[in-house]
Structure formats: structure tokens, C-alpha cells
């Protein structure tokens, strides 16, 4: 888990491939925290990109990073603050489409079990927001 996915931590190389940077808050699933590392349960990250469970200091898994990617997609489609995002993207935005709505809403679902369960699922099976 990266735990701080945000635009400043995503770089694009010359081939147009996105690369994640800054692994200062990263943690491997199932690996116990060691002294000197970030603490499980501590609220760390950039608030505007944090999943609800991360903001509340409850245990997080890779789905918190999927939430953060959803926030970045939301911002990319609609350049405004996603906090308190509406139930669907406003139709007045020219790049907002039903497909983007569906992807973003599922990625940003408040309940981790209702989000995409993997980035492969998010990329391949665009799923329905519930």
C-alpha cells in the first residue's frame, strides 16, 4: 500500500507511462510494523486524497489507494475539490461521461468492499457503482 497516492506522487515518463513516486508512507499488506516505521492506525497522508477509513485511523488496505486514484480521476474529469462529491458528476462538464461517472463513483465508494477490489478490475471490468 502506498497510502499517499496524489498527483504530486505520480510522474509520467517520456513514453507516457505513469510511475508512482515517494514511498515514504508505503506499507506491505500483512507485514507487521517495525520500530522506526510509520505506525498502523496513525492518520498519515494527504487529506483530500485519503479514503474515509484512512481519515478515521482505522485499518486500511490496497483499496484506500484505489480510492485515491478515483479522487485523481475525478479531479481530472472535473477540476474541482472532490470532498463531498455528488452522487454523479455534473453533466455540464464536457469531459464528464456516464462511463467516467461509473468508474469514479465505484473507485470512491465510501465502503471499501464496494470499491474496485484491484487495479486490474478497475482497468478491465469497469464495474457499476452501487
Question: Which domains, from first to last, does the chain contain?
Answer: 7-28+39-124 (1.10.510.10)
Helix axes 62-77, 98-107, angle to 10 degrees: 150
Whether pTM > 0.75 for this model: the answer is no
State how far the alpha carbon of 18 is from the alpha carbons of 15, 46, 61, 125, in Å.
9, 19, 21, 20
Whether the pLDDT of residue 72 is over 60: the answer is: yes
Average pLDDT over residues 62-70: 94
Find the catalytic residue in 4, 22, 29, 61.
4
Among this protein's residues, is 65 annotated catalytic?
no
Average pLDDT over residues 38-61: 80
Whether the pLDDT of residue 90 is over 60: the answer is: no
The position carrying cell 477509513 is 53
C-alpha cell at 26: 508505503
Amino acid at each position: 500500500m502506498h497510502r499517499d497516492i496524489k498527483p504530486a506522487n505520480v510522474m509520467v515518463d517520456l513514453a507516457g507511462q505513469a510511475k508512482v513516486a515517494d514511498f515514504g508512507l508505503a506499507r506491505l499488506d500483512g507485514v507487521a510494523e517495525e520500530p522506526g516505521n510509520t505506525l498502523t492506525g496513525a492518520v498519515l497522508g494527504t487529506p483530500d486524497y485519503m479514503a474515509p477509513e484512512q481519515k478515521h485511523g482505522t485499518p486500511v488496505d490496497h483499496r484506500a489507494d484505489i480510492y485515491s486514484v478515483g479522487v485523481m480521476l475525478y479531479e481530472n474529469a472535473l477540476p474541482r475539490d472532490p470532498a463531498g462529491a455528488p452522487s454523479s458528476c455534473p453533466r455540464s462538464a464536457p469531459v464528464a461521461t456516464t462511463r467516467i461517472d461509473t468508474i469514479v463513483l465505484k473507485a470512491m465508494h465510501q465502503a471499501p468492499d464496494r470499491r474496485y477490489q484491484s487495479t486490474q478490475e478497475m482497468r478491465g471490468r469497469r464495474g457499476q457503482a452501487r
